[in-house]
Amino acid sequence: MSGEDALIGLRLVQYAGACLLLGVPVFLLTAGRRLSLSGAGVLVVAGAVATASCALLAVLAQTAVMAGAWADALNRDALLMVALHTGLGLSMLVRAAAAMAVAAAATLRPGRLRWSAATAFGLIAVGSFAWSGHAGATEGVGAMLHPLADALHAISATIWFGALTALTLICRRPEAARDPATPEAFAAFSSVGTVAVATLALTGLVNAAFLVGVERIDQTLEGAWGRLLVVKLALFAALLSLAASNRWRLTPALARAQAKGEPRPAFDRLTRSLTLEVLIAVTLLAVVAVLGLQPPPVHA
DSSP state of 132: T
Burial class (CB in 10 A: 0-12, 13-18, 19+), 92: buried
- Is residue 299 predicted with pLDDT exceeding 60? no
| Choice between 18 and 146, residue whose per-residue pLDDT is larger | 18
Q: Residue 132: how many CB atoms within 10 A of its CB?
A: 25
pTM of the model: 0.90
Q: How confident is the model at residue 214 (pLDDT cuts 50, 70, 90)?
A: low
Mean pLDDT of 173-187: 84
Residue pair 134/299 in contact by the 8 Å Cβ criterion: yes
What angle, 0 to 180 degrees and rounded to 10, lies between the N-to-C axes of helices 142-170 and 40-67?
Answer: 140
Q: Residue 37: how many CB atoms within 10 A of its CB?
A: 18
Percent of the chain scoring above 90 in pLDDT? 46
Mean pLDDT of 263-290: 93
pLDDT of residue 172: 84
pLDDT of residue 91: 94
Q: Residue 8: how many CB atoms within 10 A of its CB?
A: 18
Beta-carbon contacts of residue 208 (< 8 Å; ≥ 6 apart): none
Mean pLDDT of 167-172: 86
Question: What is the Cα–Cα distance from 82 to 176, expressed in whole angstroms?
Answer: 49
| Choice between 259 and 221, residue whose per-residue pLDDT is larger | 259
Question: What is the Cα–Cα distance from 194 to 203, expressed in whole angstroms?
Answer: 14
Mean pLDDT of 148-158: 93
| DSSP structure string for 162-203 | HHHHHHHHHTTSTTTTT-THHHHHHHHHHHHHHHHHHHHHHH
Residue pair 89/59 in contact by the 8 Å Cβ criterion: yes
Output b/e per residue, 230-262; b: 16+ Cβ within 10 A. eebeebbebbeebbeebbeebbebbbebbeeee
Handedness of CA 119, 124, 129, 134 (dihedral sign): positive
- Is residue 288 predicted with pLDDT exceeding 80? yes
Fold of domain 3-291: Formate dehydrogenase/DMSO reductase fold (1.20.1630)
Beta-carbon contacts of residue 255 (< 8 Å; ≥ 6 apart): 180, 183
- Is residue 13 predicted with pLDDT exceeding 60? yes
Mean pLDDT of 139-152: 82
pLDDT of residue 213: 63
Read off the pLDDT of residues 80-139 as tens digits, 9 standing for 90 and up.
888 888 888 899 999 999 999 999 999 998 888 999 999 999 999 999 999 887 766 677
pLDDT of residue 84: 87
Question: Residue 210's closest CA among 141, 291, 298?
Answer: 298
- Is residue 169 predicted with pLDDT exceeding 70? yes
pLDDT of residue 144: 83
Least confident of 42-46, 118-122, 167-171: 167-171
pLDDT of residue 68: 75
- Write down the domain spans for the chain: 3-291
Judged by DSSP in three states, 69 sits in coil
pLDDT of residue 1: 63
Read off the pLDDT of residues 223-261 as tens digits, 9 standing for 90 and up.
787 888 889 999 999 999 998 898 899 999 999 999 988
